Amino acid sequence: MAFWDSLKTKTADMNAQLKLKTGQFKNKEFAAGSMAICALIAAADGTIDPSERQKTAGLIVANDVLSIFPPADLQEKFNFYCDKLTRDYDFGKVEAIATIGKLKSKPDQARAVIQIGIIIGGADGNFDEHERKAVKEACFAVGISPTEFDL
């Protein structure tokens, strides 16, 4: 329970930090990276069932940071990465990680994408080992140590 309480507190702090920087993140690379990590979280166990996809899509729309983008654009990008992961998980994962990796030269945006992954992963109260692994891989793709996020 202590881990979950700690995660909830950190998630709230991350969301508050992200809200302050929202304006500088309004670009297509950040939107694509955000949707790529959301799809990776949804598929973290190797599959995406329809209810998980729908739940994650709902969390995306409800996220204040992502509200700077038109919901239809986010939905389209999220579906794109989910479809790739569903058709061929390994190839889809490579493509999603590569998209996130494009933010390596923009450390603030890269951190924000990682934080969104953690927020989405922990939203159901269970930031499981598969979700943590997906976020760690995204950290490596952007050159940020996972320990910065207690992973």
* 12-27 pLDDT tens trace: 665 556 555 555 667 8
Q: What is the pLDDT of residue 15?
A: 58
**Predicted confidence (pLDDT) per residue in 133-151, tens digit:** 999 999 999 999 999 888 8
Instruction: Give yes or no for residue 5 having a pLDDT over 80.
Output: no
3-class DSSP assignment, residue 120: helix
d(CA 63, CA 42): 16
- Average pLDDT of 70-98? 94
- C-alpha span between 88 and 145 (Å, rounded): 28
Here the tokens at position 40 are: 């990776």
Tell me the pTM: 0.83
Give the model confidence (pLDDT) of 100-113 as tens digits. Answer: 999 999 998 999 89
pLDDT at residue 3, rounded to an integer: 53
User: Token pair for residue 47?
Assistant: 């599959």
